[in-house]
A and B are shown apart, each in its own frame.
Chain A
Amino acid sequence: MKKSIVSLAVLGAALALAACETVTLAPAGAYAVGKGSNVTLTRAWSDFTPISGLKKVRMLSIDGPLLNRLYLSEGLVTGDYIVQPANRREATTPLYDSSMSVTEQVEFVANSVTAMSYERVATSGVRPVQVNGQRGVRFDIEAATEAGLVIKGVGQAVKSDDRLFVAIYLAPGEHYFAESLASAEATMDSVTF
């Protein structure tokens, strides 16, 4: 309940700010994620980052964040978050540490998805992936919204020079996940840093 209230408050604040910050087009082709990190989008997405409150992470969507969302981080260093805590002095959301093992990187991503207010977050199909010449890890995600909607997703973590590049694709299991999966995975494959 508390998480929902916080989420609603964040959403409300985001909507209130929408008058000044807007969703922008992320056209097909090369797209900058952040400092020195880029992806290639196979189709146009919308970039919700300006109203998301995220730092060092972009949030793209095709049909709106409730129906599909793709998070892409620039290189995270020790002390960075994917999901910012509500109170800066209390680390209530997962904090990245460059000493994390590969297993811990998967755990970090899964815990961050939990911190996005998803329930029963589970990972499976943990597999190696080669991105920009680096060996990383990709895995399937299953979760649910508080109201019980099944969410499916794919997570990825690739480490280079102590920086972690994370990508997370999430969508309702019914229709939307499969619909945008190919575009999301192609984007994950295309990460350069």
Chain B
Amino acid sequence: MSRRAAAFVAGLLLATASAAPALAQHRAPGLVPDPTSVEGGLWGVMERAEQDAKNSADLNDDPALNDYVRGVVCRVASDYCDEIRVYIMDRPYLNASMAPNGYMEVWSGLLLRAENEAQLAFVLGHELGHFLENHSLERWNNQKAWATAALVISVGAGAAGAYYGVDTSAIGDLAYLTAVASVMNYSRTQEAQADAIGFERMVAAGLEPTAAAAIWRQQQAETRASSFRSVRQREAMGSVFRTHPLTAERIAALDAMAQEHPGGLEERERYRAAIRPHLSAWLAEDLSRRDFNASLALTERLERDGLDLGVLEFHRGQILRQRRDAGDLELARDAYRNATEYEDAPVAAWRELGDLEMRLEDPQAAAAAWRTYLDRATTADDRWIVEDSLTALETSS
């Protein structure tokens, strides 16, 4: 390409880059946009999404849990609390999201992975940050500006190529890739800004500053433990197209912020008490991802507090039994044995223990576990299966 053609394209790039929108101002409480504006249109879309959330099979409508999570939202949102509507969705991934109209989703995968109220408050504060800074609108405008820029550059480069008699198709491709990378990069800036807002709001609520980095550190460890190569690679992939800052970068930034603040409350026991009624169901949902190693890492971390050990050891047995790697059945049996030592063990622990003792050739232990199951599960519809197993055992001995 000639220098004059290159100068023409560079001029176009500069002109369109300067057309990219600047960061919006902090929104005012109680803001309602003009329905005919771009933001009004975005609100309309989000209202329809919110209606879908209300009808979703995933919606968790437990009043106690909803009250608790809403309380944490208000703890960080303060004067914006009345504008936010929280929907807890039973979905086994660490996620929360916030729409510009105040519709917030909190997924059970986040509630399961947060270790305390401070960690939850940080993530919810992060989502609030997107809301306060009108990031949805910014992203919309940004994407529009860069799409226009890419189109103008491609057309301009084509015209320049025709005029100067050179092939400029690579310029069009470059313009497109630059536009896509710019949108993603802009999003990374927003994420870092939302992290800072979440951190400030959490600390202002009197909560522990180190909790912010801690939840990303935990997630980093779980990702590294994953059974799936594609998941393990996710964190390592450094690319201009990544939409979130790499976890290591976020952790470093949040650690630096935490060093400048005194300690606060974690509210660890209160948090566990709030999620306890859902712990078994959420752990079972997590297992449906079949990412056994990640589930094990999560379960072992949850066990560190020494709470809910009957439920957690039973779940550890479930993971190992379904993973079926060499030696897993013995480990699963040991986990079920551990579970039965605690009062909160699900009754199914004795059935599973009996099945594994039998498979591992200890018929006496199997019979004992099965009998305990039959004593405790008086109305279970699968009693006949256990009775069949006992009968077969007694007949053979």
Contacts and interface: CB of A to CB of B under 8 A. Distances in A.
A65 to B, nearest CB: 18
Given A90-B228, A101-B355, A126-B381, A111 B57 contact: no
A119 B228 contact: no
Contacts of B91: 1
A99 B290 contact: no
B229 interface: yes
Interface in A77-110: 87, 89-94, 97, 99, 101-104, 106
B289 interface: yes
A137 interface: yes
Interface residues of B, number: 27
A2 B229 CA distance: 18
A76 to B, nearest CB: 15
Given A89-B229, A126-B382, A94 B290 contact: yes
B268 interface: no
B289 A92 contact: yes
A92 B52 contact: no
A186 B345 CA distance: 40
Given A146-B57, A147-B52, A124 B381 contact: yes
A53 to B, nearest CB: 19
A133 interface: no
A147 to B, nearest CB: 6
B385 A120 contact: no
Interface in B306-328: 321, 324
Interface in B334-365: 351-352, 355, 359
A37 interface: no
Given A103-B351, A103-B355, A104-B355, 14 more contacts: A90-B229, A90-B230, A92-B289, A92-B290, A97-B324, A99-B359, A101-B359, A101-B385, A119-B57, A120-B58, A124-B381, A127-B381, A146-B57, A147-B55
Q: How large is the interface on A (under 10, 10 to 19, 20 to 34, 35 or more residues)?
A: 20 to 34
A128 B228 CA distance: 37
A148 B57 contact: yes
A119 B288 CA distance: 11
Contact of A128 (B90, B291, B384): B384
A92 B228 contact: yes
Query: Top 4 nearest A-B pairs by Cβ distance?
Result: A144-B57, A119-B57, A126-B382, A148-B55
Contact of B58 (A89, A119, A128): A119
B78 interface: no
Interface of B: 52, 55-58, 90-91, 93, 227-230, 288-291, 321, 324, 351-352, 355, 359, 381-382, 384-385, 388
A154 to B, nearest CB: 14
A114 interface: yes
Contacts of B288: 111, 114-115
Given A146-B58, A147-B56, A148-B56, A126 B359 contact: no
Interface of A: 1-2, 87, 89-94, 97, 99, 101-104, 106, 111, 114-115, 119-120, 124-128, 137, 144-149
B157 to A, nearest CB: 34
Query: Which of B57, B289, B359, B384 has the most CB atoms of chain A within a 10 A radius of its CB?
Result: B57
Query: Which of B230, B384, B385 has the most CB atoms of chain A within a 10 A radius of its CB?
Result: B385
Nearest to A149: B57
B362 to A, nearest CB: 15
B385 A126 contact: yes
Contacts of A148: 55-57
22 contacts: A87-B230, A90-B230, A92-B228, A92-B291, A93-B290, A97-B324, A101-B355, A102-B385, A103-B351, A103-B352, A103-B355, A103-B385, A104-B355, A120-B90, A126-B384, A127-B384, A128-B384, A144-B57, A145-B57, A148-B55, A148-B57, A149-B57
Contacts of A145: 57
A90 B229 CA distance: 8
Nearest to B281: A120
Nearest to B56: A148
Contacts of B228: 90, 92
